[in-house]
Chain A
């Protein structure tokens, strides 16, 4: 059983609770144990970095330091948390002065940031540590009847100088996972595009246009569902779907699954157990 520290994302604690719930169902089936980091705080959601760069470094040094204390890598299941914490790590590792300033404060909790724990997305752990072959062997209900549109989202791909796992122009990790689970991945041009989440409350029309385009293509390609490794993308593509499609003048709908739910389905868990019934689009 390989162990990891698991970062608690704000959105998965509040609106998309089904993400952590579904991971809890199947993690042991795939030989991994995600130890929840109850000390973790909000990463800053790609906003704190410019509101206050030093607080941004502090909170994420602390998030990583707790994983380091356990001697484990930090696993994240939200793209923006992933990008944000990795950005902070890069800044800390490149600046001894910043690291020292932050460590002076972390002493209050008996913590020290070293930079030894990697910050990784759950999708990367499934591909690199569990392995596609193991996953293939564990599948109980192959997703063979499904045409699946993989929506990677931005912050698992870009900036590539911070992420670096997939080619941002032509990512493949999620496609490979879909195939290992027995599903059919479709050539989806919006796979590496944006969902519009980060401007939903600031420029709603623009965000809905962005989301509408991604939904329109998945519908046009007759996908059975969209899958995403990011709960923020899910919130837009599922929660705001009716609004986005209305704005685009399209009368239709398409289910959107979390990565963790898709894995759960193939491992034999049902929609109710996985929390799929909590989605806005059924």
Chain B
């Protein structure tokens, strides 16, 4: 701790930037180059990289533009975490370095590498196209430009935070499911999709939602919250993902997916028993055939270890279930009323 406190007091010091290097035209594999440069307190990682490019090694490649946290171009991993180089202080990162005086700089994950710290954003753009991430106006073209398209403050507040996204792809880089499967929609596209779907001027809600509930879509998010935690604009991305799910559960024809069935099982079990009936959850989510094919070998192991969840009749309801159930059902009436008044 004393080292970092001392560092903090210093006004200037030598810092080593361990930069990821890879040029597919000449390199057979990636490597790191160390650049040790004098850095003053108050300098950002981006300014340090610019200094290296101008004074030490002009071949170091990275993307940057506004230098003010607005354009989203300079997303990269600093000491392993995805962030914007232009809003990240060298001094702050030194305090978190594993090796004293060394800051590691690497490209974002989960996107194809072009060179050094530059990744290819095209897969992300392609997904934004696939999920129609734009407003398709409900106003007939003949009326456009002739009258205002008013949005109330209440309507705007639903997607106000989502509009802060600058597409820096930090969330994309940190996403657990994208790391496991590159076809996954990705948090940034889910956020954008939510933002379009709650826009009252938009006409493509149903089409977009139908695409979002398919494989590799909104139900594949595993709730790890890494996207939200790494968002450089502190956008509650999980609220948007949950918003799409809530919408899918309320929309006609959108519930015939394993994700929707799995989610709804919680509601019905809690109402009945107060407890989750885990034994039948796989059947209710994916049907009998899938469960037998996928989980039978494990079920045998679990039986041998006496780990199988109890069958439904053996799941003991929570104490006081009757009173709880009546509260729960009365709340269902409240929700119905809310929906009615919302539709009006």
Chain A residues at the B interface, C-beta cutoff of 8 Å: 10-11, 13-16, 38-42, 44-55, 58-59, 62, 101, 105-106, 108-109, 154-155, 158-160, 168-170, 193-194, 196-199, 201-207, 209-210, 213, 239-240, 243, 277-280
Contacts and interface: CB of A to CB of B under 8 A. Distances in A.
Given A50-B243, A158-B225, A210 B267 contact: no
B180 A209 contact: yes
B211 interface: no
Nearest to B282: A201
A82 B258 CA distance: 25
Given A51-B266, A55-B335, A154-B225, 8 more contacts: A41-B270, A51-B245, A51-B264, A59-B324, A169-B96, A202-B219, A203-B219, A206-B177
B331 interface: yes
Contacts of B258: 201-202
Question: Number of contact residues on B: which range applies?
Answer: 35 or more
B4 to A, nearest CB: 13
B105 to A, nearest CB: 16
Contact of B177 (A47, A62, A203, A280): A203
B323 A199 contact: no
Nearest to A106: B327
Given A14-B278, A41-B274, A199 B228 contact: no
- The B interface is mostly helix, strand or loop, or mixed, namely helix
A54 B327 contact: no
Given A170-B96, A196-B180, A243 B263 contact: no
Given A51-B249, A194-B222, A159 B332 contact: no
B286 interface: yes
A41 B275 contact: yes
Nearest to A208: B180
B298 A243 contact: yes
Contacts, number: 188
Interface string B294-326: 100010011001111110000110111001101
Nearest to B334: A54
Interface string B251-274: 000000011001110110110001
Given A42-B275, A59-B328, A210 B269 contact: no
B311 to A, nearest CB: 10
Most buried by A among B176, B179, B281: B176
B327 A40 contact: no
B226 A44 contact: no
Contacts of A278: 305-307
Contact of B305 (A38, A50, A170, A280): A280
Interface of B: 81, 96, 176-177, 179-181, 184, 219-226, 228-229, 236, 238, 242-243, 245-246, 249, 258-259, 262-264, 266-267, 269-270, 274-276, 278-279, 281-282, 285-286, 294, 298, 301-302, 305-310, 315-316, 318-320, 323-324, 326-328, 330-332, 334-335, 338
Closest 3 CB pairs of A and B: A158-B225, A209-B180, A41-B274
Most buried by B among A101, A159, A199: A199
Contacts of A105: 327, 330-331
B176 A49 contact: no
11 contacts: A13-B275, A13-B316, A42-B270, A51-B246, A59-B270, A108-B323, A193-B176, A206-B220, A210-B177, A239-B298, A280-B298
B278 A11 contact: yes
A62 B324 contact: yes
Nearest to B265: A47
